[in-house]
Amino acid sequence: MSIDANAVVLERYNAKVFKNRKEHMLKVNPAEDQMIIANTRAIPGIMTNRGCCYAGCKGVVLGPIKDMVLITHGPVGCGFYSWGTRRNKAKAEGDTPNYIQYCFSTDMQEPDIVFGGTKKLKKAIDEIMELMHPKTIMIAATCPVGLIGDDIQAVAAEAEKEYGIRCVAYSCEGYKGVSQSAGHHIANNGLMKRVIGTGSYEPATKYSVNILGEYNIGGDGWEQERILRKIGYEVVSVFTGDGEVERIASSHKANLNLVQCHRSINYIAEMMKTKYGVDWLKVNFIGLEGTIESLRNMAAYFGDPELAQRTEQVIAEELAEVQDQVASYKARLNGKTAALFVGGSRSHHYQGLLQDLGIKTVLAGYEFGHRDDYEGREVIPNIKDDADSKNIEHITVEKDDKKYHAYLTQEQYDKLAAEIPLEKYHGMMRDMDEGTYVVDDLNMYEAEKFMEILKPDMFFSGIKDKYALQKAGTLSRQLHSYDYSGPYAGFKGAAKFGYDLCMGYFTPAWHMVTPPWKNCATLQGTVGE
């Protein structure tokens, strides 16, 4: 009989923690309708890998937009530690300004906490207007701002009047919600209310798409755009990697939304469908199989035989370029096992790429995914709203008669929806084998314990646990920053990923180092009475 790794991991906990953590773990059994608890508060005292609401709003969704100034209103640390730490690349091109290398903070001090920080925020806007004169300024609030009640909305409205710019303030204080996921939602709401639908850019072709939930980490977005343009698509906007305000403002004019990261942007995808009639298609440009399937689904959506033919031609060309390389990496990596623990979508997306390389996933989890990211979108109506999620504004939008344009007839839509993932996401669990493990909000102790039991050959996660895993002699790759490599998307990205894994896995470094405890006596001691 095979052991139940979850039971072994849970043994260590006291009754209260046991009861809580048990609901966040399961062993996959496709014969059962399995449910997992997710998007709930972390247990105080347990070191979670999650980030805060501000991180999700400022760092993740808004941060990559390059032609606007994003001010962190709060003590300087929040701005400083979210400065340049995510690898959302952006090009400085043409007349479009690129501000993402800057860090703007109001640097609140004790007197501002006591007497209010709005004056300082106003002054920061004045300085920015004088020095940089951007067309758009956004403001992201950190914890103390909400606690003292600074009216950042009023400051933003005043700046709009005074300077004739777009100025949007986000009350995304770190403590709102249970993770960065809350910040994604707040940022989605703000973009929907204040930006999308206001632009005047006109797409040049009917094969016009937006890529939603693609943040251009390590250049992933550029690689996707390259392939799409080669086929003949026009990418109207990207949310938000290397993104531009004007393009995002005009995104409602595209004919199809592609959703890469469902977790961070599904709200906008849904709202754009209701308000502007733009359908959304779940895609995954990570992995050869995923990329090919996504491209074919897109061609099926537009239903043009010429486009379909061009799609096949590009797939063949791109495959031919990387095929031998990928096959040689696969020959070396075949049969290896992997564990993945990333934010809210990559633990799923990378399983396909690993499979392309012959690597089997034995454990996967999200830091802050919701039940739908694990189980599929159809569970959304059954997810109970708790006090924490009620804290986040849910906006409802209505059909905009003037700007509404549906590319398909209802009949065409219904027919296609049965074939391709239109407004559907089936979640991570359904792609996992029987007997593999799914763990939500994995903590450091659990990561080490699962490593001990499952002994994966490689562990994909982030900087917070990278070195603990690596010191245990397991190949550890960061799937947030790609360990400063990438792009990993598309065909060429798959080859690059295989190369990096081979380099990591077969490095002789592990055999060259003699750990100090092998050469000298280990100190031993006991705790005195």
Point out which span in 222-230, 259-267, 278-286, 452-460 binds ligand CFM (CB under 6 A): 259-267
Q: Does 261 bind ligand CFM (CB under 6 A)?
A: yes
Considering only 117, 199, 203, 343, the residue that binds ligand CFM (CB under 6 A) is 343
Give least dist CB 266 to ligand CFM, A: 10
**How far apart are CB 513 and ligand CFM at their closest, in Å?**
29
179 touches ligand CFM (CB under 6 A) = no
Query: Among 210, 91, 219, which residue's Cα sits nearest to residue 489?
Result: 219
The one among 48, 189, 297, 345 contacting ligand CFM by CB under 6 A: 345
Query: How many residues line the site for ligand CFM (CB under 6 A)?
Result: 16
3-state class of 41 per DSSP?
Answer: coil
Token digits of residue 522: 């280990």
DSSP state of 345: S
- To ligand CFM, the closest distance from the beta carbon of 400 in angstroms equals 27
Q: Is 346 in the site for ligand CFM (CB under 6 A)?
A: yes
- Interatomic CA distance for residues 527 and 529, integer angstroms: 7
Nearest to 89 by CA among 237, 217, 210, 235: 217
Q: Give me the phi and psi of 448, to 5 degrees please.
A: -65, -40
Residues serving a catalytic function are 52, 55, 86, 184
344 forms part of the interface with ligand CFM (CB under 6 A): yes
Are residues 54 and 469 in contact, defined by beta-carbon separation less than 8 angstroms?
no
Please give the residues from 46 up to 105 whose contact with ligand CFM meets the rule CB under 6 A: 56, 60, 86
Output the six-digit token pair for 466: 């990278």
196 binds ligand CFM (CB under 6 A): no
Q: Which lies closer to ligand CFM via its Cβ, residue 101 or residue 309?
A: 101
Question: Residue 5 corresponds to which amino acid?
Answer: A
Closer CB to ligand CFM, 238 or 315, in the complex: 238
The amino acid sitting at 276 is Y
Smaller CB separation from ligand CFM, 185 or 263: 263
What are the structure tokens assigned to 439, written together? 């763990």
264 binds ligand CFM (CB under 6 A): yes
Tokens for 37?
A: 């608890």
In contact, 122 and 90? CB cutoff 8 Å: no
Q: Please state, in angstroms and rounded to a whole number, the distance separating the CA atoms of residues 425 and 376.
A: 6
Q: Give strand pairing partners of 138.
A: 70, 168
Is 342 a residue that touches ligand CFM (CB under 6 A)?
A: yes
| Residue whose CB is less far from ligand CFM, 86 or 310 | 86
Tell me which residues touch ligand CFM (CB under 6 A): 56, 60, 86, 180, 213, 215, 217, 261, 263-264, 342-346, 480
